Amino acid sequence: MRTVQKYGGTSVADAERIRHVAGRVARRAGGGDEVVVVVSAMGNRTDELIDLALSVAPDPDARELDQLLATGEHMSAALLAMALKAMGREAVGLTGSQAGIHARALHGAGRIERIEAERIEAELEAGRIPIVAGFQGVTEASDFVTLGRGASDLTAVALGVALGADRCETYKDVEGVHTADPRAVPSARRLADLHYDEMLEMATQGSRVMHNRAVELAAHHDLPILVASSMVEAPGTLIHGGPRMEERNRVRGVVDDHDIAKVTLRAVPDERGVAARIFEPLAEAGVSVDTIVQNASARERTDLTFTLARADLRRAEALMERISASVGASGYVADTDLGKVSIVGAGIQSAPGYAARMFRALADAGVNIELITTSEIRITCIVRDDRVGDAMNALHAAFGLDRPA
């Protein structure tokens, strides 16, 4: 069996934890499995490097920031390989470049284009455990490019696909996917399994557990992902493609997200091509827009609202004056300090009553809803960020998630 294991930043936060992870990897490899390991930067290392960059330059150049941030994972990979060798296991730490992870040069938001796995295959062939720096790839120009926050999950799944792994295991500081974030909802329970689609909605809506592009990629290639704790031996949550979940027809979890900003363009002319003229420049600037809501038209003009990560707001605002003028809007307003709560479960949108129950539960908890969006298997409300905790607990109770299924 060939497995790609991924260990997150908390799991490799210090020397003791790195040795602990080395012990786990060594035991697995000792059992005869072929193991490839992906690691994140140690603890808060990425944030420390960003702070260092900001102390040198107020708006650090994106290419140089990527060169800097990539070192965080290089360190973890080298250290874990050392720890394994100290235990008598052959291992080799690899940068994203050495591991053959080629990515498009959109700095800070790179996309994996292809994986040339010859080096990893050769290391496995030679009996060495490859330890790969997550979160990064190399461009055609041989520069490092990072893949976005939390993208070490994506590195692991992409390697799993490229190497034909049987499954991908991501080890975190949580014991799996829960019905809600246990920090927000004390009565949250671990889910034993989850369909890719359900996990995707959980991830997109802000579960800190798995990176959404990683789940998308796993779903596309039907590569099962185990989410489990690196600290304790526990079964975790298996994310997989079957059996079909549509028949379950119930809420499987509630998900919160924070640090959301909202931008509303006022009185946008209701013309063909307007949306493209708004969102193309944002996409080119690497701003990832989440929810888009267009209010009902009044006198051929309409308000258009979209949400985005608060961290992207400055980049978006730098473009909004020009965008507003280019589409003939009367101006724009930005709002920060928003959050999201979502209920997720296959079939819930097509079944009657879930939305109404959600809105009722929020009303009873005294939470105002600012925006509503839905998908096949999710209903999301944007609320003030400081009300998200109350909203989560109210929804968790209202849909009976604290009781075993």
Query: Which residues contact a second copy by CB under 8 A?
Result: 15, 18-19, 49, 52-53, 55-61, 63-65, 67-68, 70-71, 74-75, 77-79, 81-83, 85-86, 92-93, 95, 97-98, 119, 142-143
Tokens 């991830």 sit at which residue? 203
Nearest to 308 by CA among 333, 288, 326, 324: 288
Tokens 């929810």 sit at which residue? 291
Shortest reach from residue 20's CB to a second copy, in Å: 11
Q: In the complex with a second copy, which residue's Cβ is closer, 230 or 324?
A: 230
Q: In angstroms, rounded to a whole number, what is the distance separating the alpha carbons of residues 101 and 112? A: 7
Shortest reach from residue 91's CB to a second copy, in Å: 8
Q: In angstroms, rounded to a whole number, what is the distance separating the alpha carbons of residues 129 and 81? A: 8
Shortest reach from residue 232's CB to a second copy, in Å: 22
Shortest reach from residue 84's CB to a second copy, in Å: 9
Q: In the complex with a second copy, which residue's Cβ is closer, 141 or 232?
A: 141
Other Cβ atoms less than 10 A from the Cβ of 299: the count is 7
Tokens of 34: 């072929």
Q: In the complex with a second copy, which residue's Cβ is closer, 92 or 218?
A: 92
Q: In the complex with a second copy, which residue's Cβ is closer, 86 or 192?
A: 86
Instruction: List, as own/partner pairs, every contact residues 292-297 make where C-beta atoms lie below 8 angstroms and the sequence separation is at least 24, other chains included.
Output: 293/371, 293/373, 297/270
Q: In the complex with a second copy, which residue's Cβ is closer, 133 or 362?
A: 133
Contact, 259 vs 385, CB < 8 A?
yes
Shortest reach from residue 115's CB to a second copy, in Å: 15
Q: In angstroms, rounded to a whole number, what is the distance separating the alpha carbons of residues 136 and 144? A: 7
Q: In angstroms, rounded to a whole number, what is the distance separating the alpha carbons of residues 297 and 279? A: 19
Q: Say which amino acid occupies 366.
A: G
Shortest reach from residue 172's CB to a second copy, in Å: 21
Q: In the complex with a second copy, which residue's Cβ is closer, 78 or 124?
A: 78
